[in-house]
Amino acid sequence: MNYPDFSSQEFYERYHYDGELGAIYHPEGTVFRVWAPTASQVWLVVYSTGSGGQGVEIPMARDVQGTWTAELEGDRHGLYYTYKVLVNGSIHEAVDPYAKACGVNGLRGMVVDLTRTNPPGWDNLKRPPLRRFTDAVIYEISVRDISSHPGSGVRCRGKYLGLAEKYTRGPGGVWTGLSHLVELGVTHVQLMPCFDFASVDESVSPPKEYNWGYDPLNYNVPEGSYSTDPFRGEVRILELKQMIKALKESGIRVNMDVVYNHTYYSTSSNLNKLVPGYYYRQDAGGSFSNGSGCGNELATERSMVRKLIVDSVRFWAEEYKIDGFRFDLMGLIDIPTINEIRLVLNEIDTSIMMYGEGWTGGCSPLPDHLKSLKWNVRQLPGTGVFNDDLRDGLRGHVFHADRRGFVSGSSEMEESVKFGIVGACYHDQVDYQRVIYSKGPWAAEPAQAINYAEAHDNLTLWDKLQASCPDADEETLIAMHKLCGAVVLTSQGIPFLHGGMDFLRTKHGDGNSYRSGDEINWMDWERKYRFRDVFEYYRGLVALRKSHPAFRLESGEEIRRHLRFLPTPPGVVAYTLQEHAGGDPWETIVVVYNASPHAQEVKLPGRGWVVVVDGERAGTGSLGQLEGDAVLAAPRSAMVLVDEASYMSAAGS
């Protein structure tokens, strides 16, 4: 099919539309406006229900800049609708890309009065305080996974309302769900996709299918399978807001995993039905390009695609009070689009986070210099990327289960760990030629580095350690796991934890569990009870980080001034944070990571030290004192020590 030159200046000037699109509700009437510049006729089709029944077709009028409009008088809240378009001699029916509510399975949009979807107190709900991005501790969860386990103690298992339940307990009386998040002390939850996705049949409860949700259907509508009533379009909106409200009232900010790089359907997607060929990149042969690995990729560099994404992010930030956005395969989104989103979010609240995967899922026709890749992050002020150098440096290659990392005995990963410790910023003591992937610093500031060892993708850390160290006993594997967590939570940048990592989450070796079902994907609260000491260790590390700004420096210059690496034997990395780094009450902090199977001695800058972290316990309280100028670090363990004078002074103040 021959398409117009969608990327031309002529097309832009003739058809770019800056105004509001979608079903624009007022109590006196609703205006429908859809962008379909290549259509020769468009009809609004209205329905009384979200599925089934016959619709009534209403011709729409061609209006400015490629838009079509229709208006219905009266209060139309709850009216379901679609658009029919005649393009190139074919008629297709599509859901409004700007729909804010929908019927079951997202097959029809719904007119919604959003003020009716606000729970009591919503208008006065504030974002929990966040002074700087490096103050964040992010915890990735799925709405379904956090409560679907039979031992979760949650009534509305797998639902938005399940995460809104307070004081739920599991095996042995351990806190679960929302109370678990509060107990751990994280500042942000990152919700895996909870916009409307295609692969789970919402009409069946509990749903037969399982999916992570990286298969977008309707970008501005909450997923219905997490709702108690997916048939009424307003219910899922209310319940998502109730969940967000419960989290914020508990002091936890809410980040959202968004997938603007592709859609589940390609030729038959709503976008492609409305304006064939416009919303997606094509290869030289005119076929959908596949940089996502999912069959298509959005042409984010085109003005109305960019507008769709920017408008969507703005909507979630304003209507749902979302506090941050994690962009799936952000490398497929062009740099100007990401920077425009950042500017829009800054207008709303500068503390809203932006970060994403600084890579693609395959080859894309978008030129590399325009991709929001890890190596281009200096062109993305206020936006961060995941630090795969630290991830694979710590645990071993993500796609090779048997490969080892620093914590599991590799002798070649010390510089990759140091790279993570300095938040991917320039530091004169890092040998970049020995870093696993990046041969130079890519972050302009530490907040651009999202440090992690585990996420929903690939093997969990526990499964990876088991696969790469098949002869290690449980005690050794736990020591490696805790050491890995200690590095993530004491490095400069922004730490990111996968939900359940704090109690050795396993997916039983399934490295791509996106549709593997609840029994593989749920957070198993039995493990929190069984590995309570591991949870307490992670909890102590979170408390240490939150209490001491030395671990949360704001600039690369501060890191270079205050953080200095110490001479160490192979398998050991150690450094100091000096001169009350970041205004910390502790004057000198020493951090030691010993990944070797033997105790190792590290010389200290002076005498008289208080231990606050060792291989068994972590926090801010004293675990013991050292009088000398050296410490013997236990095998496969982390240590944090503080000079005795400033520790005692801070404790007495």
Mean pLDDT to the nearest integer, 49-76: 97
The 8-class DSSP code of residue 288 comes to B
Q: Which residues pair with 356 in a beta bridge?
A: 327, 385
Give CA–CA dist 452/466, Å, rounded.
Answer: 18
Phi/psi of residue 317, nearest 5 degrees: -70, -35
Sheet of strand 22-26, all strands in order from the earlier edge strand to the far edge: 22-26, 29-35, 67-73, 61-62
Read off the pLDDT of each residue in 189-205 and give the average, rounded to a whole number: 97
Which H or E run contains 324?
Answer: strand 324-327
**Residues near 651 by beta carbon (within 8 Å), at least 6 away in sequence:** none
Single-letter amino acid code for the residue at 38: T
Question: Which letter, b or e, does each residue of 78-105 get, where b requires 16 or more Cβ atoms within 10 Å of its Cβ?
Answer: bbbbbbbbebeeeebbbbbbbbbbbbbb
Neighbours of 150 (CB within 10 A): 14
pLDDT at site 1: 59
pLDDT tens figures, 526-536: 999 999 999 99
Omega within 30 of 0 (cis) for the link into 495: no
Per-residue confidence band for 652, with pLDDT thresholds at 50, 70 and 90:
confident
2: pLDDT strictly greater than 80:
no
Residue 324 has pLDDT above 70, yes or no: yes
Q: How is residue 566 annotated by DSSP?
A: P
Query: In 3-state terms, what secondary structure has residue 630?
Result: strand
The secondary structure of 37-91 as a DSSP string is TT-SEEEEEEESSSSSS--EEEEPEE-GGGEEEEEEES--TT-EEEEEEEETTEE
Structure tokens at 155: 């009534």
The CA-atom distances, in angstroms, between 418 and each of 431, 629, 653 are: 9, 23, 33
* Active-site entry in 357, 454, 536, 584: 357
3 state DSSP class of 454: coil
Per-residue confidence at 75, pLDDT binned at 50, 70, 90? Answer: very high
Residue 595's identity, in one-letter code, is A
Q: Which of 140, 328, 415, 644 is catalytic?
A: 328
**SS3 state at 499:** coil
Rg (the chain; Cα; Å):
26
pTM of the model as a whole: 0.98
| Percentage of the chain lying above the pLDDT 90 cut | 98
Give the single-character DSSP code of 2: P
Q: Are 360 and 332 in contact (CB under 8 A)?
A: yes
DSSP-assigned states of every residue in 218-285: EEEEE-GGGSS-TTSHHHHHHHHHHHHHHHHHTT-EEEEEE--S--S-STTSHHHHHSTTTSB-B-TT
Give me the mean pLDDT over the 567-574 stretch. 97
Q: At what angle do helices 335-348 and 303-319 cross, to 10 degrees?
A: 30
Closest listed residue to residue 622, CA positions, set 614, 611, 608, 630:
611
pLDDT digits (tens, 9 = 90+) for 406-463: 999 998 999 999 999 999 999 999 999 999 999 999 999 999 999 999 999 999 999 9
Mean pLDDT of the chain: 97
**CB-based burial, 230-246: b 16+ in 10 Å, e otherwise:** bbbbbbbbbbbbbbbbb
pLDDT value at position 3? 79
Active site residue 328: yes
Q: What is the mean pLDDT of residues 100-110?
A: 98
Q: Which pLDDT does position 175 carry in this prediction?
A: 98
State the angle between helix axes of 461-468 and 474-490 in degrees (0 to 180), rounded to the nearest 10: 130
The yes-or-no answer on residue 616 being catalytic is no
Share of residues in the chain with pLDDT > 70 (%): 100
Q: Which two tokens stand for residue 591?
A: 């951090």
Instruction: Give the number of other Cβ atoms within 10 Å of residue 570's Cβ.
Output: 10
